[in-house]
Amino acid sequence: MKKTIFFDIDGVLYSSGEILPGAVEAFNSVQNKFNAVLLSNSVRKTKQEYCKQFLSDGFKVDVSQFCSVLDSAKRFLSGEAKDKKVCFFCREKVKKEFEKEGFSFVELQECDMVLLAFYPDMTWNNMNKVFQAVFLGAELVLIEGDKWGLAENGKVLGPGSIAGMIDNVCGCGFRVIGKPSKQFFENALKQFNAKPGHSVMVGDNYAVDIVGAANVGMKTIFVRSDVPQTFFGNPPSATVESAAEIKKVAEKMFVK
């Protein structure tokens, strides 16, 4: 049975939209021996948009190899949240994609659940409105738990930071649908017919990629970047300086 490598995209294969050195060769070459899946928390692009970009950059990939957090969000909304009145904070393009598929959302004052995705245009005023809704009892759910992300104008606060701040005030707690939630990694394994012990997650974010994958029993490869990380709990199974080293390290992991 072929083992599976799950790749995070930003920080592993790309950085600020630029391909990282050796990433294309590394991704293409692992596919002789491994199944390769692209597992991103990003809601900035659809799977089709990602695939188009990857193909034009020289990656040998098919749209079926992308695992999107947006699919998890749709599963969540049509499953356990199907009776909720949801207010969705995300880019307009993302919301339209959901609405095209029949999902509907309400305004903040009518909601009993606030769904937060990466939203670079989040204003102080909007954050306050989310706080008010949560304070009155709305449930807070994040599509991605990242504390920050990259936007066109540089680093911006992510849903994880905003939810952390509101939780700090209200003690409301919040849940995350995407990485690092257990549910997200379990669904990804199921979707690609992969066993945790036969799978590796490659990521540059310790708290989101490495801890999340390790929690479901996957092996992990941490790609070092210039972003400061706080380590806690178990260390990654291996650490590399760039994508170019992934194949060799992954092969070693599965040699008995």
Minimum CB–partner distance for residue 76 and Mg ion (Å): 22
144 binds Mg ion (CB under 5 A): no
11 binds Mg ion (CB under 5 A): yes
- In the set 3, 4, 5, 8, which binds Mg ion (CB under 5 A)? 8
The half-sphere exposure of 157 on its side-chain side, counting CA atoms within 13 A, is 13
The region of 1-9, 28-36, 69-77, 237-245 touching Mg ion under the rule CB under 5 A is 1-9
Q: Which is nearer to Mg ion, 138 or 159 (CB)?
A: 159
Number of H helices and number of E strands within the chain?
A: 9, 14
Minimum CB–partner distance for residue 103 and Mg ion (Å): 27
Length of the chain: 256
The half-sphere exposure of 98 on its side-chain side, counting CA atoms within 13 A, is 26
Between CA 172 and CA 197 the distance in angstroms is 35
Minimum CB–partner distance for residue 9 and Mg ion (Å): 7
Q: How many residues bind Mg ion (CB under 5 A)?
A: 5
Nearest one of 100, 185, 112 to 145, comparing CA atoms = 185
Exposed/middle/buried for 233, CB within 10 Å: 0-12, 13-18, 19+?
exposed
- Convert 207-221 into a string of H (helix), E (strand) and C (coil): HHHHHHHHHCCCEEE
Q: Which is nearer to Mg ion, 163 or 208 (CB)?
A: 208
Partners of 141 in beta bridges: 115, 175
Neighbouring C-beta atoms of residue 94, cutoff 10 Å: 21
Q: Which is nearer to Mg ion, 72 or 205 (CB)?
A: 205
146 binds Mg ion (CB under 5 A): no
Residue nearest to Mg ion (CB): 11
Q: Which is nearer to Mg ion, 8 or 144 (CB)?
A: 8
- The 170-209 site mask, x for binding Mg ion (CB under 5 A), equals ----------------------------------xx----
Minimum CB–partner distance for residue 210 and Mg ion (Å): 11
Binding site for Mg ion (CB under 5 A): 8, 10-11, 204-205
